[in-house]
Amino acid sequence: MSRIITISREFASGGRELGKRLADALNVACYDQKIIDMVAESENMSREYVAEMSEKYLRNFYPATIGNSFAMTSSFVDGATHIAVAEQKIIKQLADEGSCVIVGRAADNVLRDKSPFRIFVCADDKSKVERCRQRAKEGEDLSEKEILRKCKKIDKQRRTYNEMYSSTSWGKASEYDLCINTSGKEIKALVAPLADYINLWFENSEK
Amino acid sequence: MSRIITISREFASGGRELGKRLADALNVACYDQKIIDMVAESENMSREYVAEMSEKYLRNFYPATIGNSFAMTSSFVDGATHIAVAEQKIIKQLADEGSCVIVGRAADNVLRDKSPFRIFVCADDKSKVERCRQRAKEGEDLSEKEILRKCKKIDKQRRTYNEMYSSTSWGKASEYDLCINTSGKEIKALVAPLADYINLWFENSEK
């Protein structure tokens, strides 16, 4: 039986790193940004267009003001919806192909029927600022306040995206199988027992 | 350096069992109901009085209606507050004595200065009903609805108790170091990697 692990994560909590390291430890594939490439290929669109529409969909699907909603033309909605549907299809295909880790894209809810192991990754503000600074592009020099504003904005988008698929509360412990706080920790140092836990969890489920 | 593990838990999620098993695996003491005995002894009160006042404190400290608040006599408030303060003192003493697991009593917030490893344990309704039925006293035969009503009521008390010590949100993933969902799982089968994770987490903190 396939073992599907989904990772929901606060921005800059290290969820993507954890996903990759877990996938390595469990010897399964990890899908993250690659899903965008796959959608682009399957829909015969450019990667840039898919990435941009996917992000705009997040931003605009639940408009904060009536003004914003008027700004959504029907061709935009059609395009963005088309891509969201294609994303879901790809996620389901990947899960059908075999055991894997899927980071983001509300995969925990998209794949609900497959009883995935649902992880949520979070971290405190200090760790998020450090992580963003370590990964900043050359020349990028955001203040702590700007970094945290960016984190909050992206987390709000992720919460909204989750709400499109489910009435569950993003970040509420009981919506996941394991929630991991990476604050001040080296993810690399903590992966082995998590992989053991996941293996035992699936064994215990399959009994 | 002492390693303190605190366990907050939804009612009937198996948090107490997990605490005991983790303490065994980590070879440290586990404090749970024993705190009530220790308060009774230190304050020279009967165990029954301490347990009752402790529970009433939970129920009445944040009265749901003004009517309820009038019902709290000052001698009741004095007695209940006295016991809550004694509980905190005992929890701090236990943490000072050495590594341990402390279940409940908002120990994660009481011991904030000691940087404990903060666990939250949750489970779905089906598992809670099963657990309650397995542990029911002879002759107790509550319906599923009655069991879930009881679970909700006690969780509300726990949430309120937590709010006395902190502005943090009870059950929100980012308030804990690890949140564990025990739904449909044998806790016994999952303890070993959790103990490994906790050991590595402390080693990584102490670097």
pLDDT digits (tens, 9 = 90+) for B83-120: 888 999 999 999 999 999 999 989 999 999 999 999 99
Write out chain A residues lying below 8 Å of B178, CB-based: 178-181
CA distance B125 to B184: 10
Kindly determine whether residue A189 and residue B196, on different chains, have CB atoms separated by under 8 Å.
no
- Mean pLDDT score of chain B, rounded to an integer? 88
Min Cα–Cα distance to chain A from B190, Å: 6
Least CB-CB distance to B174: which of A171, A174, A185? Answer: A171
Is pLDDT above 90 for A136?
no
Is pLDDT above 80 for B207?
no
CA distance B50 to B39: 7
**pLDDT score recorded for residue B75:** 65
Residue of B nearest to A117 (CA): B181
**pLDDT score recorded for residue A57:** 63
Q: Which residues pair with A8 in a beta bridge?
A: A120
CA distance A149 to A159: 15
- Mean pLDDT score of chain A, rounded to an integer? 88
**pLDDT score recorded for residue B63:** 44
Write out chain B residues lying below 8 Å of A196, CB-based: 192-193, 196
Could you give the 3-state DSSP secondary structure of residue B119? strand
Count of Cβ atoms closer than 10 Å to residue B17 Cβ: 18
Assess contact for A24 and A171: CB atoms under 8 A.
Answer: no
Residue of B nearest to A206 (CA): B185
Is pLDDT above 50 for A140?
yes
Q: Could you tell me which of A169, A53, A57 has the C-alpha nearest to residue A108?
A: A169
Predicted model pTM:
0.91
Least confident piece of the model among A65-69, B51-55, B150-154: A65-69
**pLDDT score recorded for residue B77:** 64
Least CB-CB distance to A185: which of B172, B180, B204? Answer: B204
Which residue, among A152, A181, A188, A206, would best test binding to B if mutated, counting the most B CBs under 10 Å from its CB? A181
Is pLDDT above 90 for B124?
yes
**pLDDT score recorded for residue A205:** 84
pLDDT digits over B131-141, tens only? 999 988 888 88
Kindly determine whether residue A205 and residue B185, on different chains, have CB atoms separated by under 8 Å.
yes
**pLDDT score recorded for residue A69:** 47
**pLDDT score recorded for residue A81:** 80
Q: Which residues pair with B7 in a beta bridge?
A: B103, B119
Kindly determine whether residue A197 and residue B193, on different chains, have CB atoms separated by under 8 Å.
yes
Kindly determine whether residue B174 and residue A184, on different chains, have CB atoms separated by under 8 Å.
no
Phi first, then psi, for residue B108 (nearest 5°) are: -60, -35
Kindly determine whether residue B190 and residue A197, on different chains, have CB atoms separated by under 8 Å.
yes
Kindly determine whether residue B204 and residue A196, on different chains, have CB atoms separated by under 8 Å.
no
Going by pLDDT thresholds of 50, 70 and 90, the confidence category of residue A56 is low
pLDDT digits over A157-194, tens only? 889 888 877 778 999 999 999 999 999 999 999 999 99
Q: Average the pLDDT over B147-163 and give the result.
A: 91
**pLDDT score recorded for residue A62:** 46
Q: Could you tell me which of A102, A112, A114 has the C-alpha nearest to residue A32?
A: A102
Residue type, A165: Y
CA distance readout (Å), A101 to A26, A98, A174, B167: 9, 10, 20, 35
Interior angle at CA A188, CA A187 and CA A189, nearest 5: 90
**pLDDT score recorded for residue B162:** 84
Residues 162-191 of B with CB under 8 A from A: 171-174, 176-181, 183-186, 189-190
pLDDT digits over A23-40, tens only? 999 999 999 989 999 999
Q: At a CB cut-off of 8 Å and minimum separation 6, what does B8 contact?
A: B15, B104, B106, B108, B118, B119, B120, B121, B158, B162, B170, B171, B176
Which residue, among A121, A172, A179, A196, would best test binding to B if mutated, counting the most B CBs under 10 Å from its CB? A179
**pLDDT score recorded for residue A60:** 56
DSSP assignment string, chain A: ---EEEEEE-TTSSHHHHHHHHHHHHT-EEESTHHHHHHHHHHT--HHHHHHHHHHHHHHSS-SSHHHHHH--HHHHHHHHHHHHHHHHHHHHHHHHS-EEEESTTHHHHTGGG--EEEEEE--HHHHHHHHHHTPPTT----HHHHHHHHHHHHHHHHHHHHHH-SSPTTBGGGSSEEEE-TT--HHHHHHHHHHHHHHHHHHHH-
Interior angle at CA A62, CA A163 and CA A5, nearest 5: 30
Is pLDDT above 70 for A58?
no
Going by pLDDT thresholds of 50, 70 and 90, the confidence category of residue A141 is confident
CA distance B7 to B91: 13
Min Cα–Cα distance to chain A from B102, Å: 20
Tokens of B45: 């009160």
Going by pLDDT thresholds of 50, 70 and 90, the confidence category of residue A70 is very low
Q: Which residues pair with A179 in a beta bridge?
A: A120, B179
Is pLDDT above 50 for B66?
no
CA distance A197 to A178: 10
Kindly determine whether residue B200 and residue A178, on different chains, have CB atoms separated by under 8 Å.
no
Count of Cβ atoms closer than 10 Å to residue B64 Cβ: 11
Could you tell me if A10 lies within 8 Å of chain B, comparing CB atoms? yes
Least CB-CB distance to A176: which of B177, B181, B193? Answer: B181
Strands B178-181 and A178-181 turn out to be: antiparallel
Instruction: Report which secondary-structure segment, H or E, holds B95.
Output: helix B74-97
Which residue, among B108, B181, B182, B188, would best test binding to A if mutated, counting the most A CBs under 10 Å from its CB? B181
Write out chain B residues lying below 8 Å of A183, CB-based: 177
Q: Average the pLDDT over B50-64 and give the result.
A: 64
CA distance B179 to A126: 21
Q: Average the pLDDT over A114-141 and give the result.
A: 94
Which residue, among A151, A200, A201, A207, would best test binding to B if mutated, counting the most B CBs under 10 Å from its CB? A200
Assess contact for A42 and A90: CB atoms under 8 A.
Answer: yes
Question: In chain A, pLDDT over 90 holds for what percent of residues?
Answer: 65
Kindly determine whether residue A174 and residue B200, on different chains, have CB atoms separated by under 8 Å.
no
Helix A47-60 to helix A74-97 angle, to the nearest 10 degrees? 110
Q: Average the pLDDT over A108-114 and give the result.
A: 93
Q: At a CB cut-off of 8 Å and minimum separation 6, what does A26 contact?
A: A3, A5, A99, A101, A195, A198, A199
**pLDDT score recorded for residue B82:** 84
Write out chain A residues lying below 8 Å of B124, CB-based: 174
Residue type, B152: K
